[in-house]
Amino acid sequence: MLEGKTAIVTGSTGGIGLGIAKALAGAGARVMLNGLGDPAEIEALRSGIAQSTGVEVGFQGADMQRSGEIAELVSATARVWGSVDILVNNAGIQHVAPIEDFPEERWDAIMSVNLSSAFHSIRHALPLMRRNNWGRIINIASAHGLVASTHKAAYVAAKHGIVGLTKVVALETAQTRITCNAICPGWVLTPLVQKQIDVMAAREGLSAQSARQQLLLEKQPSGEFATPEEIGALAVFLCSPAANQIRGASLSIDGGWTAQ
């Protein structure tokens, strides 16, 4: 379905981003990976996706806190493959603390990576999409883009900002063949979430399994994690003709979290 299309997925060397990158490649899109990690492991990921899907896969290690590097990520992708058709803004970091103890530098970093990077990448990719009058912008928000939790001031604020940014871009592209939507996952067993599970287990003297279930059931009525593969499949759907009139939507994939 996506043969001939080019996708950028930020924060795609693991977790949700990697699941989305694999799904887009599986649907035929060329994919530019981005993220942090050991160079040898990243190369193994890149070559593995390319071999398993038969599409071209690249890597560009832009730092999502640096607007100049984000601009180069977009322009380098266009130089290599001629266009940027699909942009998935997934890069994200987390810090958990009461607001009066929240370090200023962590607030600034989370805002930069989780929100401002999406603005910068959209700003540079959108003219390329307008040139071809086709594009898909998918912002990975969160259940925390729709509701709040304690001790996550920066993350919740940034993800609410992503939902608002999504709506503005959708309105500004409403009479084109470019769409912009947000996916709002609940708990997904990523390294960010595993870290929260480990902290809970240590703090409350729980086993890893008990901490995992307590974390899940506190928010997610299904008692099950959403998976990167499920989120990847939703991203592919949003790139399909069936999603032409899904614009400015925030699509939950959260086991019932925000239905409560």
SS3 93: coil
Which positions are annotated as active-site residues? 155
Kind and range of the H or E run holding 31 = strand 30-33
On whether the CB atoms of residues 141 and 166 are closer than 8 A, the answer is yes
H/E run at residue 218: helix 208-219
Helices (H) and strands (E) in the chain, counts: 9, 7
Question: Which residues touch 209 (CB under 8 Å, ≥6 apart)?
Answer: none
- What distance in Å separates the CA atoms of residue 82 and residue 16, rounded to the nearest whole number? 26
Is the dihedral angle over the CA atoms 85, 176, 112, 231 positive or is it negative? negative
Output phi, psi for 61, to 5 deg: -95, 40
CA distance 43 to 19: 16
Residue with tokens 């493959």: 81
What pairing do the DSSP bridges indicate for beta strands 86-89 and 135-140?
Answer: parallel
